[in-house]
């Protein structure tokens, strides 16, 4: 993790060629230490630095890494989407490329979505990954119409290189897609929690699934959303929260600073027209561009001394307010309701229920750890069997629910009682030394806070609150009348002046706090830009590398990827050029280029060294791509597959063709769907071997009529030979003339071929119109004569099974020779 914690060092390599490491990384691991170190080395003023330190995220707890990457063993589905009867898609374990092919509607995406649903409990296709929620038709169409059994999806995976696989199974108990439960079973049958296997935060950070719907949503969504995704991935997610808090502090200070302006206007209006020397002095102090705060303060102080403080006490009494009767009534009603509920559950002992549940959980744990069904207490054999375990789990759930319900009632009661206590205020300072009726009532009111019995508390509060409220109103009205009588004109103005003076003092303090917050935010913004630039370097480099492979022939070039704006309200700037001329990114890109851009942003995250996932599942990435981009995609997937388990679902045969054309090693699985949603999975074998296997099967049939054998067996041999020639032609044409020939150009050379000799000429000479006799003989003696035999259309010399079998064997030897490579010496008169 040094790349994430040492004073802004750049991220470690994001290349997919790097093996996934076992140690997991959280969103902002060591961000606290990084920011603290930068603060210590900065010249930021102490107040601003202390403010920032108080906002730093807490250091995350240390996590123990797993022994190795997570790999997929198989995906199983039943009654799910397009899969009816239970079907399992077995996957090669460990790094490598697997292509799951099949036409539209065969259930390919159902398996991709099943893997995502089993591991995450949700589905990006339906959950609005592009910011738009699907309709109810989509969300309710998850259940297969031909299956009557309980729907399920499961994922078998390993958590390290050598560990036994675990199975994550999600089954449905209701009609809604969210009405499901997930269980995790180890190979020995023991259960464990999902978060013990897979960290949910890692799934969000290094999401290994890319459904087709997200190919568009990654770039069709807002640039702010894309900014937040990338910021989180590069370990700076919590910077947005810090920036929000700094901005909120600046705004709060500004609100306090502008408060005196309104109060100054109100005070000026109150002083206007008063025939009082004090009013004249106050108006003079408030006038001008800068009010004289000291003069106003001195005037109010002198006025308070002159009246001996009587006005101050009267003002305090005038503003004295007792309990709000409506608020008290509501609080008492809630307390009565909570008290009644407590009475109802008084006979349910929450602690006893928790204790019993704990004992039963210990018994289950003993059974799990020991692997024995014998009772450890009575010694009886097989007492703790599966039925006992199921019944015990049900009883634990019942006890825990009973205890939780009782605890919730008691919590509600405590909250209601606390709410009544909170309404009870202590005796005000100006009444502390008095022996008046109001002071006595307030002391009775203050004593309510010490009462705990709900009945006594309710009765006392219900009796004292209205009496105290009425007394406060009476005393306040009397004090206001006396203030009016004493100085009807001046005192309201004096009150306004006092309010303005307090606001000015608070504004001065707020100004200092604002300056500190603004300085902290300016420093923090600069640091954010630096960190984003440092951490984006490797990410951008790999994104550009993926883009170049995917869009090698495109006139659109991807330059720098920059995070702009604040940590929270940011956007992504994509530097795009067309024929070396800058252009707005999205407007000049085709749909295939937009999908390539999405892959360029997805792969660096999913293949990061710190990801605990050793697999990628990509659904239908070929759509909207031209043939050259498909070749680039095959190259990118092949590089990822060197140290990742890459599973790609596609209906487009061009990906298979590109893989064959480039000589990429891959496992090809074919999915087909029959009536009643019966889905089958077959592994694609070597096409040449498969063709000869079929030819041999026909040749070994003793019941095959002679006339049929004479025509069918040579035709099957020609077909197998042409497949071998096509494979060799792809390989030899790919590097024709020292330059790489693309798949589309190769297909242009292969698709017009009709005759077997044209296939042979193209494979050995690179020219279908050439004369390959000498080249054929140099590879396999008698090969040209054999080709002429096969081209005769009928072979009357196959009366026995042995002769038929020999023809197939001879053709297979010739095909093997052609597959090994074209002739190294061009025959005389031949053509390339």
- Please indicate whether residue 388 or residue 14 has the higher confidence score (pLDDT): 388
Domain 71-239+533-679 in this protein, CATH class:
alpha beta
Report phi then psi at 426, rounded to 5.
-70, 165
Nearest to 335 by CA among 459, 212, 433: 459
Higher pLDDT, 623 or 567: 623
pLDDT at 648: 93
What does the alpha-carbon distance between residue 774 and residue 827 come to, in Å, rounded to a whole number?
6
Q: What pLDDT does 754 receive?
A: 87
pLDDT of 127 reads 59
Please write the tens of the pLDDT for every residue from 223-272: 666 666 676 666 666 777 788 888 888 999 999 999 998 888 888 888 88
pLDDT given for residue 253 in this prediction: 92
What local confidence, expressed as pLDDT, does residue 238 receive? 73
Name 621's Cβ contacts closer than 8 Å, sequence gap at least 6: 210, 212, 215, 595, 599, 633, 648, 650
Give per-residue burial for 752-768: e unless 16+ CB within 10 Å, then b: ebeebbbbbbbbbbbbb
Which residue from 705, 648, 689 is spatially nearest to 811, judged by alpha carbons?
A: 689
Of 91-95, 105-109, 454-458, 793-797, the range with the lowest mean pLDDT is 793-797
| Tokens of residue 57, six digits | 């995220």
Helix ranges (DSSP H) in 6-132? 31-41, 46-53, 108-120
pLDDT at 4: 29
State the residue for tokens 């009782």.
Answer: 406
pLDDT of residue 580: 63
pLDDT value at position 90? 93
Average pLDDT of span 767-771: 86
3-class secondary-structure state, position 158: strand
> How crowded is residue 55: how many other Cβ atoms within 10 Å of its Cβ?
17
Which structure tokens are listed for 415?
Answer: 């909250």
Say yes or no to pLDDT of 23 above 60: no
Distance CA 116, CA 427 (A): 63
Phi-psi region of 30 (alpha: psi -120 to 50; beta: other; left: phi over 0): left
Q: Please name the residues in contact with 779: beta carbons below 8 A apart, sequence gap of 6 or more.
A: 764, 814, 817, 818, 820, 823
Beta-carbon neighbour count of residue 608 at 10 Å? Answer: 26
Which helix (H) or strand (E) segment holds residue 320: the answer is none
User: b/e map of 695-704 (b: 16 or more CB within 10 Å)?
Assistant: bbebbeeeeb
Of residues 523, 520, 564, the one with CA closest to residue 248: 520
Residue closest to 465 by CA, chosen among 450, 448, 486: 448
pLDDT surpassing 50 at residue 16: no
Do 643 and 672 touch, CB atoms closer than 8 A? no
Task: Give the Cα separation of 44 and 52 in Å (integer).
Answer: 10
Mean pLDDT across 427-445: 86
**Is residue 673 a contact partner of residue 77, using CB atoms and an 8 Å limit?**
no
Point out which residues pair with 680 in neighbouring strands. 672
Is the pLDDT at 529 greater than 60, yes or no? yes
Is 609 in a helix, a strand, or coil? coil
The pLDDT of 707-733, averaged and rounded, is 86
**CB count, 10 Å around CB of 690?**
13
Nearest CA to 605 out of 593, 620, 596, 616 is that of 616
DSSP 159-210: SSSSSPPEEEEEEESSSSTT-EEEEEE-TTS-EE-HHHHS-HHHHHHT--EE
At 621, is the pLDDT very low, low, confident or very high (cuts 50, 70, 90)? Answer: confident
Pairing, β 96-101 against β 645-650: parallel
Q: Is 571 helix (H, G, I), strand (E, B) or coil?
A: strand
CB 790 within 8 A of CB 811: yes
Is the predicted pLDDT of residue 436 greater than 70, yes or no?
yes
Residue 302 tokens read as 């002198």
pLDDT digits (tens, 9 = 90+) for 311-329: 677 778 887 888 888 888 9
pLDDT band, residue 218 (cuts 50/70/90): low
C-alpha distances in angstroms, 694 versus 266, 466, 670, 686, 690? 100, 99, 18, 12, 6
Cα–Cα dist 712/685, whole Å: 22
**pLDDT single digits (tens) 581-603:** 665 556 567 777 777 777 887 88
- Quick check: 661 pLDDT over 50? yes
Highest mean pLDDT: which range of 66-75, 178-187, 378-387: 178-187
Q: Which whole number is the average pLDDT over 159-164?
A: 70
Q: Where are the domains of the chain?
A: 71-239+533-679, 327-423, 687-820
pLDDT in the model for residue 219: 55
647 three-state secondary structure: strand
Mean per-residue pLDDT over the chain, rounded: 78
Report the distance separating Cα 317 and Cα 475, nearest Å: 7
Block residue for tokens 């009765």: 459
**Residue 83, pLDDT above cutoff 60:** yes
Cα(609)–Cα(640) distance, rounded to whole angstroms?
A: 12
CA–CA distance, 362 with 377 (Å, rounded to integer): 13
Query: Which range among 291-305, 778-792, 799-813 shows the weakest confidence by mean pLDDT?
Result: 291-305
577 backbone φψ class: left, alpha, beta (φ>0; ψ -120 to 50): beta
Q: What whole-number distance in Å separates Cα of residue 207 and Cα of residue 649?
A: 17
Residue 7: count other Cβ atoms within 10 Å of its Cβ.
10
> Hey, what are 74's tokens?
């198989």
Q: Any idea what DSSP says for residue 276?
A: -
Check residue 1 and give its pLDDT: 28
Q: Kindly report which listed range (235-249, 498-512, 750-764) carries the lowest average pLDDT score.
A: 235-249
Pairing status of strand 87-90 against strand 645-650: unpaired
Q: Assess whether pLDDT exceeds 70 at residue 813.
A: yes
Taking a C-beta distance cutoff of 8 angstroms, is the pair 194, 181 a contact? no
pLDDT recorded at residue 518: 93
Q: What does the block give as tokens for 702? A: 């003793």
- Which of 112, 91, 102, 177 minimizes the C-alpha distance to 141? 177
Matching residue, tokens 């490329």: 97
Query: DSSP for 665-707?
Result: --EEEEEEE-GGG-EEEEE---HHHHHHHHHHHHHT-TTS-HH
pTM of the model: 0.57
What is the structure's pLDDT at 812? 92
Within 735-755, residue ranges assigned H as helices are: 743-750
Q: What is the pLDDT of residue 722?
A: 92
Residue 753: closest CA among 761, 743, 745: 761
User: For residue 17, is pLDDT > 50?
Assistant: no
Q: Would you state the pLDDT for residue 131? A: 44
**Structure confidence at residue 411 (pLDDT):** 81
- Rounded to whole angstroms, how far apart are CA atoms 296 and 178? 67
| Residue in 721, 743, 736 with CA at minimum distance from that of residue 807 | 721
Give the residue among 614, 650, 657 at the shortest CA–CA distance from 743: 657
Q: Which of 242-246, 411-415, 466-470 has the highest mean pLDDT?
A: 466-470
Q: How far apart (Å, rounded) are the C-alpha atoms in residues 197 and 184?
A: 9
Q: Give the CA radius of gyration of the chain.
A: 41
Mean pLDDT across 737-744: 64
370 pLDDT above the threshold of 60: yes
Q: How far apart are the first and last CA of the chain?
A: 56
With H, G, I as helix, E, B as strand and everything else as coil, classify residue 313.
helix
Q: Which stretch of 4-18, 617-631, 703-717 has the lowest confidence by average pLDDT?
A: 4-18
Q: In Å, what is the CA distance from 524 to each residue of 174, 216, 562?
A: 50, 34, 18
State residue 680 phi and psi, 5-degree precision.
-120, 150
Which residues, other chains included, contact 229 with Cβ-Cβ below 8 Å and sequence gap of 6+? none
> Percent of the chain, pLDDT > 90?
10
Greater confidence (184 vs 434) lies with 184
> DSSP label at 12?
P
Share of the chain above pLDDT 70, in %: 80
* Owner of token pair 């109060």: 263
Q: What is the mean pLDDT of residues 104-124?
A: 84
CA 211/CA 606 separation, integer angstroms: 13
- 75-79, 331-335, 518-522, 576-580: range with lowest mean pLDDT: 576-580
What pLDDT does 130 receive?
Answer: 44
What are 512's two structure tokens? 């200092």
Span of 32-46, 95-109, 131-145 with lowest mean pLDDT: 131-145
Average confidence (pLDDT) over 732-756 = 75
């Amino acid at each position: 993790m040094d790349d994430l914690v040492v004073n802004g060092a750049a991220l470690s390599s994001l290349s997919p060629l790097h093996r996934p490491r076992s140690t997991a990384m959280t969103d902002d691991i060591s961000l606290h230490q990084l920011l603290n170190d930068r603060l210590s080395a900065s010249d930021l003023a102490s107040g601003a630095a202390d403010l920032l330190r108080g906002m730093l995220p807490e250091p995350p707890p240390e996590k123990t890494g797993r022994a190795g990457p997570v790999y997929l063993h198989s995906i199983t589905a039943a009654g799910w989407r397009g899969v009816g009867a239970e079907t399992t898609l077995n996957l090669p374990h460990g790094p490598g490329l697997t292509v799951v092919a099949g036409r539209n509607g065969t259930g390919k995406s159902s398996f991709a979505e099943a893997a995502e649903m089993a591991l995450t409990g949700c589905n990006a296709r339906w959950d609005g990954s592009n910011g738009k929620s699907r309709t109810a038709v989509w969300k309710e169409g998850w259940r297969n119409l031909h299956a009557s059994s309980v729907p399920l999806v499961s994922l078998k995976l390993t958590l390290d290189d050598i560990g036994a696989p675990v199975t994550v199974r999600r089954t449905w108990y209701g009609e809604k897609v969210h009405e499901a439960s997930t269980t995790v079973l180890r190979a020995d049958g023991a259960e464990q929690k999902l978060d013990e296997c897979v960290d949910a935060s890692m799934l969000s950070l290094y999401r290994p699934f890319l459904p087709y719907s997200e190919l568009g949503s990654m770039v069709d969504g807002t640039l702010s959303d894309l900014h937040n995704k990338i910021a989180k991935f590069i370990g700076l997610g919590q910077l947005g929260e810090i920036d929000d808090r700094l901005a909120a502090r600046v705004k709060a200070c500004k609100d306090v600073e502008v408060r005196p302006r309104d109060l100054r206007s109100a005070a000026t209006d109150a002083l206007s027209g008063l025939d009082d020397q004090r009013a004249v002095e106050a108006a003079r102090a408030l006038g001008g561009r800068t009010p004289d705060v000291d003069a106003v303060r001195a005037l109010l102080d002198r006025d308070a001394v002159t009246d001996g403080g009587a006005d101050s006490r009267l003002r305090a009494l005038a503003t004295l307010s007792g309990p709000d009767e409506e608020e008290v009534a509501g609080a008492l009603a809630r307390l009565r309701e909570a008290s009644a509920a407590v009475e109802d559950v008084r006979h349910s002992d929450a602690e006893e229920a928790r204790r019993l549940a704990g004992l039963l959980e210990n018994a289950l744990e003993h059974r799990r750890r020991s692997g024995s069904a014998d009772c450890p207490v009575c010694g009886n054999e097989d007492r703790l069997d599966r039925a006992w375990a199921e019944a015990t789990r049900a009883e634990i759930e019942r006890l825990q629910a009973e205890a939780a319900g009782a605890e919730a009632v008691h919590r509600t009661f405590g909250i209601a009682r606390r709410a009544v206590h909170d309404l009870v205020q202590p005796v005000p300072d100006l009444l502390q030394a008095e022996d008046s009726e109001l002071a006595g009532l307030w002391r009775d009111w203050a004593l309510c806070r010490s009462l705990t019995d709900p009945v006594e508390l309710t009765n006392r509060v219900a009796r004292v609150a209205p009496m105290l409220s009425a007394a406060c109103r009476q005393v306040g009205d009397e004090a206001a009348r006396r203030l009016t009588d004493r100085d009807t004109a001046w005192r309201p103005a004096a009150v306004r002046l006092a309010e303005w003076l307090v606001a000015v003092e608070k504004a001065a303090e707020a100004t200092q706090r604002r300056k500190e917050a603004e300085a902290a935010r300016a420093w923090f913004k600069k640091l954010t830009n630096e960190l984003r630039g440092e951490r984006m370097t490797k990410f951008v480099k790999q994104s550009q590398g993926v883009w170049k492979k995917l869009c090698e022939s495109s006139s659109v070039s991807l330059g720098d990827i920059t995070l702009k704006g604040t940590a929270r309200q940011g956007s992504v700037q994509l530097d795009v050029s067309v024929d070396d001329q800058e252009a707005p990114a999205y407007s000049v890109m085709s749909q295939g280029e937009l999908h390539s851009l999405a892959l360029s942003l997805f792969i660096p995250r999913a293949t990061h060294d710190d990801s605990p996932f050793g697999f990628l599942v990509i659904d239908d990435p070929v759509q909207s791509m031209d043939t050259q981009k498909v070749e680039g995609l095959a190259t990118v997937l092949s590089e990822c597959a060197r140290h990742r388990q890459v599973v790609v679902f596609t209906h487009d045969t061009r990906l298979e063709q590109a893989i064959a054309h480039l000589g990429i090693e891959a496992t090809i699985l074919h999915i087909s769907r029959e009536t009643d949603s019966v889905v089958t999975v077959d592994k694609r074998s070597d096409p040449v071997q498969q063709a000869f296997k079929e030819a041999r099967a026909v040749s070994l049939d003793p019941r095959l009529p002679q006339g049929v054998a004479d025509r069918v067996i040579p035709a099957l041999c020609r077909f197998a030979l042409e497949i071998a020639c096509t494979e060799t032609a792809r390989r030899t044409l790919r590097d024709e003339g020292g330059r790489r020939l693309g798949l589309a150009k190769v297909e242009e050379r292969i698709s017009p071929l009709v005759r077997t000799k044209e296939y042979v000429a193209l494979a050995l000479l690179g020219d279908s119109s050439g004369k390959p006799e000498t080249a054929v003989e140099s590879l396999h003696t008698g090969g040209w004569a054999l080709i002429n035999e096969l081209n005769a259309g009928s072979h009357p010399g196959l009366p026995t099974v042995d002769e038929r079998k020999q023809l197939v064997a001879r053709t297979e030897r010739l095909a093997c020779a052609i597959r090994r490579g074209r002739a190294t010496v061009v025959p005389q008169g031949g053509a390339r």
